[in-house]
Structure 1
Amino acid sequence: MRVSVPTIPTRLASVPSGPTVSPAVAVERISSFLQHGNVCLLTGAGVSVDSGIRAYRGKDGRYMNPNYKPIFYHELVDGTEKGFAFRQRYWLRSYLGYPPVRDAQPNKTHYAIAALQHASIVPRLITQNVDGLHHKAIRSARSRSWMDEHMLELHGTLHKVHCNRGHLVDRETFQDWISAANPQWKAFVDDLERAGQQPRTNPDGDVAIEDVDYTTFNVPECPTCALEGYTNSVQKPALIFFGESIAKEVRDKSYADIEQCDRLFLVGTTLATFSAFRLLKHALELKKPTLMLNVGPTRADGLPGLEKLEIRSGEVMREIVRNVLGSQATEDPIIRDMLCSGIYMPPPDHIEDIVPQSGS
């Protein structure tokens, strides 16, 4: 299954959001839904907004602009000069946009979800996010092998890069390669950091910059390929691009997670990508109880069998965890610490795109 450019059907996008429920009503209903455990949780970009990462389809989101055109998978991996130009554009923008995602910290919702995971209420987590914040929230309590088994990054991760011959490298190393190959852009990033500024960054680390000569940007080549006698600049982050197929093992695991749970809880997602929407449809076909916590229209609005509550997750998730776990929320030191953790730093309502000076 290939990931296409996500959209919310026009009939939904033009419809005002439903009434927002009160925190007390939301806490009671969601607590009741979760209390028996064995819940699969599916999250989207809305979960990370309080960490400063703007959602694509939220207020001022990029996908709300009909003229926004992302780079497709076939364009990024094209071996011709045209493909190289796409990689110049992608990697310059991603080079600028990665640090804010890298440095983002989990918010209250991430830690509340981590507490539910640690308590085995939510044994399976599927996230559409590529920012790694769910992992940051629980990594002090769970091993990497546990996370690999119980947490699925449906669309991959921004924190690793691989070439088209399979050589994998961590993103920080790749950032260093870009810095070494483009000292003028490294100086620009350093100036931003000294000024306490950051570009307007999307959930996949992309930024919008205008009036820039992308042809001057040097895309690093894969050094392992070079050792093997190949010149290869076809490298991409380990996330799923539009037009790219989700790996069979990821798809199969996502279906298995739905099948093995008793109910499905969806948080902070419009389900605009079919890769996520089909998981909800699968749960409904299996007659699993489903509950959504999201603000604004979604692709699933009006589906029979889906219950939806409109309220921000950050307003209610901590109290929900306390309700569900009872005395464990105060007696378990790990959970107690999680429920006292989490930032609240949503993106400003308006932020101008940072435009480099001519010659940058």
Structure 2
Amino acid sequence: MKINIPTIPPSILAAAKLKQSTPIDLPSVVERIAAFLAPGNVAVLTGAGVSVDSGIRAYRGDDGRYMNPNYKPILYHELMDESLKGYAFRQRYWLRSYLGYPPVRDAQPNTTHFALAALQYLGIVSRLITQNVDGLHHKAISTVWDQYEMERKMLEIHGTLHRVHCTFGHVVDRQTFQDRISAANPYWAEFTANMERTEQKPRTNPDGDVVLEGVDYGSFVIPDCPECTLQSRRNSIQKPNLIFFGESISAEVKERSYRDVEFADRLFIVGTTLATFSAFRLLKHAIELRKPVLMLNVGPTRADTIPGLEKIEVQSGAVLRDIVKSLAGFRAVEDPILRRLLTSGIVKPPAREATNEDITPSHVEK
């Protein structure tokens, strides 16, 4: 089975490399985006770039190229394979994901998340669609909206890292699953605890998987689903509630994403190269419906040659707060909720990338 990892066309990357950079006038950028958003009823589509200031690395750099070209993700059909070979794939995936989940779990929303939450609170953003599986948009708006409102107005088209399910539909929250892995793998539990004590972190991808090479995965134990065990069956085939490479989003999620774009009057795209088709087709759908589309992203994207797209190359964290203040006027100071949203958020982009030697366990084969 041949699976193509989402990429940006080489012709776009080559054109971007030759493009001359021009000075950015931030006040003009704030004015332009505020004018775009001012009519309200805006759908927002976000990607991995939005979470970088929360310490979660994006898949691609400012040049649009995959930042870890040697990374080989586990594919959907490999993870779900019932054979011994499939179990080996799951050992590799779950060990790496077990190590990579805590940084995502503990990540906090940044200023972009909170600025977008402020636009939601103001009623300017009516629908938010995200490709991210980190849950940070939900963390940002959770003190303003209840669960019902979040489910109605927010959509995670690629799922979430914070829940796990087995092939028979038994769902468990991710931390409970982490605890089960810890109990079954005391060595790795101690290894993880030691990493957290020393603040020694592997390079974590946006999906929570880590770069970890040369490790013998054969001794890693994947806990069986306890609900399946109660039904007299052993089942180690469990996956996070997110979309893997080679897996399609459900018809329900696809249709919902289309409806969210159709419901809004305009589309604002933030922090994504639109390399995945599930996101790219939402842009195309908006263009076909003749809705205004504005993109805020640094570097080349899959959509750069699409007529009807307006693109501004500025980091979202540099302008979004000022955009909200421009739109809110006196409310930015007088409304305590809005004031809190506009003064919240971390700015902690990823530190230097750990090398393989930095994170090598004692039993790695040299």
TM-score by length of 1: 0.96
Structure 2 counterpart of 1:277: 280
Contact 1:192–1:198 (CA under 8 A) maintained in structure 2: yes
Q: Tell whether the 8 Å contact from 1:44 to 1:268 is kept in structure 2 after alignment.
A: yes
- Which consecutive residues of structure 1, in runs of 5 or more, have no partner in the other structure? none
1:109 is matched with: 112
Q: Secondary structure of 1:215's partner?
A: helix
Query: How far apart, in 1, do the equivalents of 2:6 and 2:23 lie?
Result: 25
Task: Determine the structure 2 residue equivalent to 1:38.
Answer: 41
Q: Is the CA contact (8 Å cut-off) linking 1:115 and 1:338 kept in structure 2?
A: yes
Aligned pairs (5 A) from 1:53-202: 53-58=56-61, 63-202=66-205
The alpha-carbon deviation at position 331 of structure 1 amounts to: 1.8
Report the CA distance between 1:198 and its aligned residue: 1.5
AA matched with 2:170: H
- The answer for the alignment partner of 1:212 in structure 2 is 215
AA at the equivalent of 1:120? G
Cα distance change, pair 28–59 in 1 and its aligned pair in 2 (3 A) = closer
Task: Give the Cα separation in 1 of the matches to 2:223 and 2:66.
Answer: 29
Residues 203 and 353, structure 2, Cα contact 8 Å, conserved in 1: no
CA distance in 2, matches of 1:20, 1:81: 56
CA shift, 1:357, in A, is: 2.8
Matched, 1:241 2:244: yes
User: Equivalents in 2 of 1:61, 1:100: separation in Å?
Assistant: 24
- After the TM superposition, which of the residue ranges 328-337 and 299-308 deviates more from structure 2? 328-337
Contact 2:8 2:64 in 1 (8 A): no
Residue identity in the other structure for 1:355: I
Shift of 1:63: 2.8
Cα deviation for residue 4 of structure 1 reads 5.0
Cα distance in 1 between the residues matched to 2:310 and 2:64 = 25
Moved segments of 4+, more than 6 Å: none
- Label 1:59 to 1:201 Cα distance change in 2 as closer, same or farther (>3 A): farther
Alpha-carbon contact 1:42-1:126 (below 8 Å) kept? yes
Tell which deviates more after alignment, 329-338 or 165-174: 329-338
* Partner SS state of residue 105, structure 1: coil
Q: Which amino acid aligns with 2:305?
A: G
Answer with 145-154 or 53-62: which moved more: 53-62
In structure 1, C-alpha distance between the alignment counterparts of 2:203 and 2:124, rounded to whole Å: 36
Change (3 A) 1:53 1:138: same
- For residues 330 and 172 of structure 2, what CA distance do their matches in structure 1 show? 44
Q: 1:355 corresponds to which residue?
A: 359
1:259 aligns with 2:262: yes
Q: Hey, what's the Cα distance between the residues in 2 that align with 1:176 and 1:234?
A: 17
Question: In 2, are the aligned partners of 1:222 and 1:231 still within 8 Å (CA)?
Answer: yes
CA contact (8 A) 2:191 2:361 kept: no
Supply the distance in 1 between the matched residues of 2:48 and 2:193 (Cα, whole angstroms).
Answer: 28
State the alpha-carbon separation in 2 of the partners of residues 82 and 350 from structure 1.
Answer: 31
- State the match for 2:7 in structure 1: 7
What is the distance in 1 between the residues matched to 2:63 and 2:167? 34
Give the conservation status (yes or no) of the 8 Å contact 2:130–2:155.
Answer: yes
Instruction: Measure, in 1, the Cα distance between the counterparts of 2:13 and 2:73.
Output: 20
> How big is the shift at 1:23?
1.4
Gaps of 5+ in 2: none
SS of equivalent residue, structure 1 residue 359: coil
Following the alignment from structure 1 to structure 2, what is the Cα–Cα distance between the partners of residues 65 and 143?
Answer: 38
State the distance in 1 between where 2:233 and 2:284 align.
45
Q: Distance in 1 between matches of 2:87 and 2:140?
A: 37
Question: 1:72-113: CA deviations, max 9, x gaps?
Answer: 100000000111000000000000000000000000000000
For the Cα contact (< 8 Å) 2:13–2:63, is it kept in 1? no
1:222 aligns with 2:225: yes
User: How big is the shift at 1:60?
Assistant: 9.9
Residue identity in the other structure for 1:8:
I
Distance 1:184 1:20 in 2: 52
**Contact residue 40 and residue 263 of structure 1 kept, 8 A:** yes
Alpha-carbon offset, residue 356 of structure 1: 2.5
Query: Cα RMSD over matched residues?
Result: 1.7
Decide whether the 8 Å contact of 2:114 with 2:141 is kept in 1.
yes
Letter in 1 for 2:76: Y
